[in-house]
Structure 1
Amino acid sequence: MTLRKAGLAAAAALVLSLTATACGGGSSDSGSNGDKINIGIKFDQPGLGLKTQDGEYVGFDVDVAKYVAKELGYDEKDIVWKQAPSAERENMIANGDVKFIVATYTINDERKERVDFAGPYFLAHQDLLVRADDNTVRSEDDLDKSEMKLCSVTGSTSAQNVKKDFAPKANLMQYGGYSECLTGLENKAVDALTTDDSILAGYAAQKEHQGKFKLAGLNLSDEPYGIGLKKGDTKLQKQINDALKKMVEDGSWEKAAKKHFGPADYDYEPAPEITETS
């Protein structure tokens, strides 16, 4: 009887061991935690990636991330959102803190030395946000002649680039955050705020800002947004690209763009052609 009990115990232990191995197989994947998936987004960009006071996550990037996650087999409840500051995105991917990042992440050669991208899924351009009744700047030529007070967030390169390449006479003013720039713009302390037009449109579309501001409509640069992922993960890259294609084909991309950018009268580009393939 003792031997029989010992044999049953050993068999049970073997079954438990095999079961644990099978269940834990996905936990070793970067950015995965069992049945959960870690996705990086911005928490402070209205219209793109925003964590609300109620703890909800909303925006175009959030909708793209949810769609991709669904195509990878994850329900919305399985997503663990991770804040992805611009300066930390490559580290978060390389360290396996996230499976992928959807956070106004412009594809460029310098970043591609450390991470791979899927997409692009959106094409933004650097632009200016001005007051709704301001018609001073209608073209790059107007900008070149302007001595406007140009607002930038401290540490941002957007305004520096505009001042260097397009508006050398501008008076560059640096504030701590976009909300301060918007307050300055509303109070006429500054004449314009500059960054990607998608980000500007998100702020202009906020309920408290609707009707106060408008985009100048200057395409000062091309900013193709990609989904960042671990370098060399060609399987995930293809899966994400397939999901992005499906999102465009079934109308979900256009629906999300209208929902988040429409209130700002933002004339966004159509979904771009996917170029990041291995």
Structure 2
Amino acid sequence: MHLVLWRPIRAECRILSACLLLAGLLAAPASAQTAGEGLSPTLANIKATHTVRIGYRESSPPFSFLDHSNRPIGYSLELCDAIVEEIGTEVDDANLKVDYIKVTSDDRIPAVVQNKIDLECGSTTANSERAKQVAFSPLIFVAGTKLMVPKASGVTQIANLKGKTVVVTKGTTNEQAINNVNAKQSLGLNVVTSPDHEQSYQMLVDGKADAFATDDILLYGLIARHKSQDKFRVTGDYLSYDPYGIMYRKGEKQMKDVVERAFRRLASNRDIVPLYNKWFIARLPTGEKLNVAISPQLEEAFKVLDETQ
């Protein structure tokens, strides 16, 4: 699914190891490229087509999801707005077109690697394995794998699900986490997959799974979106550590500089925390309210961004 919108670019818009990573990432120079001279492949294509192709997720609130008019919205997409604005400066085009392309957990990395999208603006964990294939922006959120179970269920931890069915979304780090704990604890879980978070949620609703395992923030977002607080709850210890980032193609230093410059600008203008609050504290455009305060780890990561000015 492609959604193409013309619009002006807007200025609005891993815990210790994450900050150390950020410090290394942000050592790049902040000079803007003279328009048309020696642009990297991604930026050259954007300049030629006047278009930035953004990969979005349909059901990853509040990061990337659809509003009531089926338009992509969310925290990650607003962060990508800032990147697009910085790209516009780099290629000397202040009115770039944005082509929204739907991706799933399973095809998002290939979409970046195969040059189908320029930025993936969703809820993607930045880890060393994925970094062999793609590049990541500075930290945008920290989550971890937990369980969604029926509220009446007696499940409080993964061990309570021995021999039962757990659904995970295909191609996620959560799938790896559940398979790892299943093998380590010899739980005999029946681990099934679905194409995206909405389908995973629906399998739990339909009684086809005893639990749905994914990042805690996504579970809270789905419960809020479906107004199912009386039906489901989030439980269990963290089964993985998942720092999120925006994906783009690996090996393009100029694109890396542009992405990091956009994040530094957000931090220095004190825009990044209000942007977080807009999507995690305030009521969402679709009516839900998550009320998830910024974690100390993420707040510190944002401070590191500002200090690299």
What is the aligned counterpart of 1:226 among 221, 225, 245?
245
1:257 aligns with 2:272: no
29-38 vs 213-222, greater mean Cα deviation = 29-38
Query: Do the aligned partners of residues 207 and 193 (structure 1) sit closer, same or farther apart at CA in structure 2, a change above 3 Å counting?
Result: closer
- The structural deviation recorded for 1:152 is 0.9
- The structural deviation recorded for 1:204 is 1.2
- 5 Å matches for 1:135-214? 136-137=155-156, 142-147=157-162, 149-153=164-168, 155=170, 157-158=175-176, 159-165=178-184, 168-172=187-191, 178-179=197-198, 181-186=200-205, 190-214=209-233
Q: State the one-letter code of the partner of 1:273.
A: A
Contact 1:32 1:98 in 2 (8 A): no
- The runs of 5 or more residues in structure 2 that have no matched partner are 1-34
- The runs of 5 or more residues in structure 1 that have no matched partner are 1-21
Query: Do the aligned partners of residues 187 and 116 (structure 1) sit closer, same or farther apart at CA in structure 2, a change above 3 Å counting?
Result: closer
- 1:114-138: CA deviation from partner (whole Å, max 9, x where unpaired): 222221211110111123454631x
Residue of structure 2 equivalent to 1:36:
51
Q: State the one-letter code of the partner of 1:70.
A: E
Residue of structure 2 equivalent to 1:269:
295
- The structural deviation recorded for 1:154 is 6.7
Contact 1:32 1:99 in 2 (8 A): no
Residue of structure 2 equivalent to 1:9:
none
- 1:89-115: CA deviation from partner (whole Å, max 9, x where unpaired): 333323333222122222222222222
Query: Do the aligned partners of residues 42 and 76 (structure 1) sit closer, same or farther apart at CA in structure 2, a change above 3 Å counting?
Result: farther
User: What's the C-alpha RMSD, in Å, of the aligned pairs?
Assistant: 3.8
CA distance in 2, matches of 1:83, 1:218: 32
Contact 1:204 1:213 in 2 (8 A): yes
Contact 2:135 2:249 in 1 (8 A): yes
What is the aligned counterpart of 2:122 among 90, 103, 123?
103
CA distance in 2, matches of 1:82, 1:220: 31
CA distance in 1, matches of 2:108, 2:226: 29
Query: Do the aligned partners of residues 52 and 145 (structure 1) sit closer, same or farther apart at CA in structure 2, a change above 3 Å counting?
Result: closer
1:48 aligns with 2:74: no
Contact 2:62 2:75 in 1 (8 A): yes
Residue of structure 2 equivalent to 1:68:
83
- The structural deviation recorded for 1:65 is 1.9
CA distance in 1, matches of 2:195, 2:104: 15
1:114 aligns with 2:133: yes
Q: Which has the larger radius of gyration?
A: 1
Q: How many pairs were matched up?
A: 252
- The structural deviation recorded for 1:57 is 0.8
Q: State the one-letter code of the partner of 1:127.
A: K
Query: Do the aligned partners of residues 133 and 263 (structure 1) sit closer, same or farther apart at CA in structure 2, a change above 3 Å counting?
Result: farther
Query: Do the aligned partners of residues 230 and 143 (structure 1) sit closer, same or farther apart at CA in structure 2, a change above 3 Å counting?
Result: closer
Contact 1:65 1:102 in 2 (8 A): yes
**What TM-score does the superposition give when structure 2 sets the normalisation length?**
0.65
Query: Do the aligned partners of residues 75 and 134 (structure 1) sit closer, same or farther apart at CA in structure 2, a change above 3 Å counting?
Result: farther
CA distance in 1, matches of 2:112, 2:196: 26
Percent of pairs with identical residues: 21
Query: Do the aligned partners of residues 100 and 61 (structure 1) sit closer, same or farther apart at CA in structure 2, a change above 3 Å counting?
Result: same
**What TM-score does the superposition give when structure 1 sets the normalisation length?**
0.71
CA distance in 2, matches of 1:268, 1:262: 17
Contact 2:148 2:233 in 1 (8 A): yes
- After TM superposition, which residue ranges in structure 1, 4 or more long, deviate above 6 angstroms? 25-28, 74-77, 274-277
CA distance in 1, matches of 2:219, 2:182: 18
Q: State the one-letter code of the partner of 1:63.
A: E
CA distance in 1, matches of 2:95, 2:60: 20
Contact 1:144 1:169 in 2 (8 A): no
Contact 1:124 1:225 in 2 (8 A): yes
Provide the secondary structure at the position in 1 that maps to 2:124. coil
